[in-house]
Amino acid sequence: MREYETTLIVQPEISDEGREALVQKLDTLVAGHGGVRLALDDVGKRKLAYEINKFQKGHYLTLQFLDQAKGSAVKELERQLRIEESVLRFLTVMVNPEVGDIEARKIEAAEQERMRKQRAAERAAREAEEERARELAEREARSAAGGFAAARDEDDVAEDASDEDEE
């Protein structure tokens, strides 16, 4: 069997259900042609290098799978991706021309997918913490600016009062 990797960019507005339906369709297609899905990496939304169909962002997915030497799953997969309206671009590459131990490769791919999910969860937690810190800093800056404005207003009122006393 050969190992392939297909990276596809789908429209950024696609719903989670729509994306899951697309992935399910691809899994069924690969399995129907004697292939084996190894892993799916949902990279998320990213800015595109150039505009595609008036989209400046896209949702990236990478599907790793095994296919028989004749490559029937690859042909059908690419045919379906050309038809699918939500897919902006795709690219399939052969990663390994001969996978000897399929079960060992499945175990390795499952471990890689687990590690990717763990890193993604850690990244999401880190980004959430950074966002909270940014919001706190903005709140403190607004509060400090508000305090400065209030003090300035008090000085103006005191100045006006002293001007009236002089008259």
What pTM value is reported for the model? 0.68
Query: pLDDT tens across 64-103, in order?
Result: 998 876 778 888 899 999 999 999 999 999 888 887 787 8
In a domain, 82, yes or no: yes
Q: State the total domains in the chain.
A: 2
Residue 60 has pLDDT above 90, yes or no: yes
* Confidence category of residue 161, pLDDT binned at 50, 70, 90: low
Statement to judge: residues 49 and 18 lie in one domain: yes
In the block, tokens 């789908």 appear at 10
Query: The domain containing residue 74 runs over which residues?
Result: 2-100
Q: Alpha carbon of 36 to those of 5, 27, 71, 75, 158: distances in Å?
A: 12, 8, 12, 15, 80
Statement to judge: residues 24 and 59 lie in one domain: yes
In a domain, 167, yes or no: no
